[in-house]
């Protein structure tokens, strides 16, 4: 029987995403000057105020206030009328040193035996639904907001746009779990004041349908372009006026958009947030590692859809276990338990080996803090950081290493594909 599935995304100017980006920018600066930094930074943003809290163990000194302000300005909160802007907001820091009780379970004499930074379970997911092996509804939701931000920053069209925005996409699937059409699209965007509210709603809806959506469609592959049709139900700023937004409209906190950050409700989620956490925290590193596994399994043809779970005890290096679910889409003559046993042999899931395999001690996290941690394109680039009382460090880093298809050949060999 056909069914509908929905995923949402939020923009870089959403209060929770501002908090995530600040936390990850702090993490990147600490790692740039001390790759062994242990960081757990939380951020709260509200009207005219940023509060930084958490635990850090590092040899680096960074100006956390300036970092927070730079992030806010880069996002686009640069005007006093927003009631939150990078140049004038207050920034309070309550960051202190990491608990030695936690640290003793993580740091070991042998790096190979580095314990997990916490207990918990982490999930990775992949599907053949899109070229980047991500769920389609989430992909489109992210694309809408990325394009909306690009239009805002270009400043040529839709010049009334402000940074806060949300999107949601509902897709109809057939009996074989194939997408057949887009049923509904929701876009809510913060905007400048208009003289007339009726004209405002009409103008924004016209611009979303006639300017934004065509730009989104143009970047899709042909089979996904065909899902758009004139029967789509568009809900554009459905509550009406949306002038008050950002941290002035709602307080934002690090780690509150974990489904937006991962798979939009497909697969599963262990509950742990990512931003502001160094890779010794398996909430982050093992979630990336399970995505890496799932994506390489699907790309190698083991199955058309895969969910991978790993779980840990705090201070223990070896995972409690690895679980694989192919949802009945396996292309090999094995059950999911047998597939999991082979996965265990290919991918070493001890924290130290995850960190080495995915190069997670590099300052690569700021980019992941908006528009999803998964499904992004790996890129080698130079980054520059300032800290330690004015010192500057330049690094060549590789972002989104967990998205690389670098284990496909090994997977094919192990599964005789």
Q: For 24-57, write each residue's pLDDT tens digit.
A: 999 999 999 999 999 999 999 999 999 999 999 9
Say if residue 165 carries a ligand binding annotation: yes
Residue 111's pLDDT band (cuts 50, 70, 90): low
C-alpha 345/C-alpha 349 separation (Å) is: 10
Residues annotated catalytic, as ranges: 14, 16-17, 42, 55, 166, 242, 250-251, 256-257, 277, 281, 283
Give Cβ neighbours of residue 300 (< 8 Å, ≥ 6 apart). 407, 408, 411, 412, 415, 417
> According to the model, what pLDDT value does residue 391 have?
83
pLDDT of 218 strictly over 60:
yes
Q: At what angle do helices 282-300 and 351-358 cross, to 10 degrees?
A: 60
Say if residue 278 carries a ligand binding annotation: no
> According to the model, what pLDDT value does residue 119 have?
85
Q: Residues 267, 125: contact at Cβ < 8 Å?
A: yes
Q: What is the pLDDT of residues 374-397, one digit of tens each?
A: 999 999 999 999 876 778 899 999
Residue 364's pLDDT band (cuts 50, 70, 90): very high
User: What are the tokens at 365?
Assistant: 């996290």
How far from chain centre, in Å, is Cα 319?
Answer: 24
> According to the model, what pLDDT value does residue 316 have?
87
> According to the model, what pLDDT value does residue 101 have?
53
Give Cβ neighbours of residue 73 (< 8 Å, ≥ 6 apart). 85, 86, 87
Mean pLDDT of 78-89: 95
Mean pLDDT of 199-216: 96
Spatial CA neighbour of 141 closest among 5, 326, 1: 5
Residue 330's pLDDT band (cuts 50, 70, 90): very high
Say if residue 242 carries a ligand binding annotation: yes
> According to the model, what pLDDT value does residue 414 have?
97
C-alpha 277/C-alpha 280 separation (Å) is: 8
Q: In CATH, what number does 120-128+281-414 get?
A: 3.30.300.10
For 166, other C-beta atoms within 10 Å of its C-beta total 20
> According to the model, what pLDDT value does residue 1 have?
82
Please provide the size of the chain in residues: 417
Say if residue 284 carries a ligand binding annotation: no
Mean pLDDT of 194-202: 89
Q: At what angle do helices 15-33 and 64-75 cross, to 10 degrees?
A: 130
May I ask the CATH architecture of the domain 3-10+135-244? 2-Layer Sandwich (3.30)
Q: What percent of the chain has pLDDT over 90?
A: 88
Residue 196's pLDDT band (cuts 50, 70, 90): confident
Mean pLDDT of 3-31: 98
> According to the model, what pLDDT value does residue 225 have?
94
Beta bridge partners of 382: 396
**Average pLDDT value over all residues in the chain:** 94
Residue 116's pLDDT band (cuts 50, 70, 90): confident
Mean pLDDT of 389-415: 94
Q: What is the pLDDT of residues 238-275, one digit of tens each?
A: 999 999 999 999 999 999 999 999 999 999 999 999 99
Comparing 115-129, 157-171, 280-294, the range with the smallest average pLDDT is 115-129
Mean pLDDT of 355-363: 97
Say if residue 164 carries a ligand binding annotation: yes
Say if residue 352 carries a ligand binding annotation: no
Spatial CA neighbour of 370 closest among 141, 159, 194: 141
Say if residue 166 carries a ligand binding annotation: yes
The dihedral sign for the CA sequence 306, 124, 293, 134: positive
Mean pLDDT of 206-232: 95
CATH 3.30.300.10 domain span(s) along the chain: 3-10+135-244, 120-128+281-414
pTM (predicted TM-score): 0.95
């Amino acid at each position: 029987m056909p069914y509908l599935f929905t995923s949402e995304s939020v923009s870089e100017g959403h209060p929770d995403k501002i908090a995530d980006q600040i936390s990850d920018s702090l993490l990147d600066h600490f790692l740039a000057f001390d790759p062994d930094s242990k960081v757990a930074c939380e951020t709260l943003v509200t009207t005219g105020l940023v509060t930084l809290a958490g635990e850090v163990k590092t040899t680096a000194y960074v100006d956390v206030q300036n970092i927070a302000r730079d992030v806010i300005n880069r996002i686009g909160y640069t005007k006093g009328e927003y009631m939150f802007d990078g140049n004038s907001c207050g920034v309070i820091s309550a960051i202190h040193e990491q608990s030695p009780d936690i640290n003793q379970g993580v740091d070991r004499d042998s790096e190979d035996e580095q314990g997990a930074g916490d207990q918990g379970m982490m999930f990775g997911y992949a599907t053949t639904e899109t070229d980047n092996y991500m769920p389609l509804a989430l992909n489109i939701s992210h694309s809408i907001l990325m394009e909306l931000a690009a239009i805002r920053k270009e400043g040529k069209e839709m010049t009334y746009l402000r940074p806060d925005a949300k999107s949601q996409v509902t897709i109809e699937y057939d009996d074989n779990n194939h997408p057949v059409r887009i049923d509904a699209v929701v876009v809510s965007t913060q905007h400048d004041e208009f003289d007339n509210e009726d004209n405002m709603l009409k103008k924004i809806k016209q611009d979303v349908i006639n300017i934004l959506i065509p730009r989104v469609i143009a970047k899709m592959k042909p089979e996904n372009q065909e899902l758009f049709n004139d029967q789509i139900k568009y809900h554009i700023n459905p509550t009406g006026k949306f002038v008050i937004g950002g941290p002035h409209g709602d307080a934002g906190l690090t780690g509150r958009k974990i489904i937006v950050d991962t798979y939009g409700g497909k697969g599963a989620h262990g509950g742990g947030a990512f931003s502001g956490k160094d890779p010794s925290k398996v909430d982050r590193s093992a979630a990336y590692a399970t995505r890496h596994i799932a994506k390489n399994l699907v790309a190698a043809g083991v199955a058309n859809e895969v969910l991978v779970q790993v779980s840990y005890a705090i201070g223990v290096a070896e995972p409690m276990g690895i679980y694989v679910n192919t949802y009945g889409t396996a292309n090999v003559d094995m059950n999911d338990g047998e597939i999991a046993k082979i996965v265990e042999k290919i991918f070493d899931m001890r924290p130290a080996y995850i960190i080495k395999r995915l190069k997670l001690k590099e300052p690569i996290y700021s980019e992941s803090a908006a528009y999803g941690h998964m499904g992004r394109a790996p890129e080698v680039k130079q980054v520059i950081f300032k800290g330690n009382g004015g010192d500057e460090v330049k690094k060549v880093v590789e972002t989104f290493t967990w998205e690389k298809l670098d284990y496909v050949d090994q997977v094919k060999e192990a599964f005789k594909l």
